[in-house]
Structure 1
Amino acid sequence: MENENVDVKGKITPEKALEMLKAEGLDLTVEQAKEILDFLRKLANIAVSKYLRKRV
């Protein structure tokens, strides 16, 4: 059974992010939650790339 909060690639869906953000008191749209997820993914990719460059 596929988890409805995670997409095929294992990423959190915008709907799940919206649910999590609303639990923290933020009132956003699904589109805003999607933009936040996109930003966080980019930030995570930058952090991982920087870490891996230091190790070489």
Structure 2
Amino acid sequence: MKRMSPEKVVSILSSYGEDITLEEAETLLDFLYELASIALRQSLFKRKEAQGN
């Protein structure tokens, strides 16, 4: 999976009037990728449970 760069996050948020540092952008990206991973695992687990496996 291709990760978004912290620079891109800073740029996107800046266009919405939110100013963050590169370090904050890196932390935000780490958090969001971990959250997405957890959500995906839960979704796959529920699907497997629904199939009776």
Q: Normalization by structure 2: what TM-score?
A: 0.84
Greater gyration radius: 2
Identity %: 42
**Which structure 1 segments of 5+ residues have no match?**
1-8
Between Structure 1 and Structure 2, the one with more helix by share is 2
Q: Which residue of 2 aligns with 1:18?
A: 10
How big is the alpha-carbon RMSD for the aligned residues of Structure 1 and Structure 2? Answer: 1.0
Q: Which residue of 2 aligns with 1:36?
A: 28
Aligned residues: 48
Query: Displacement, 1:24?
Result: 1.2
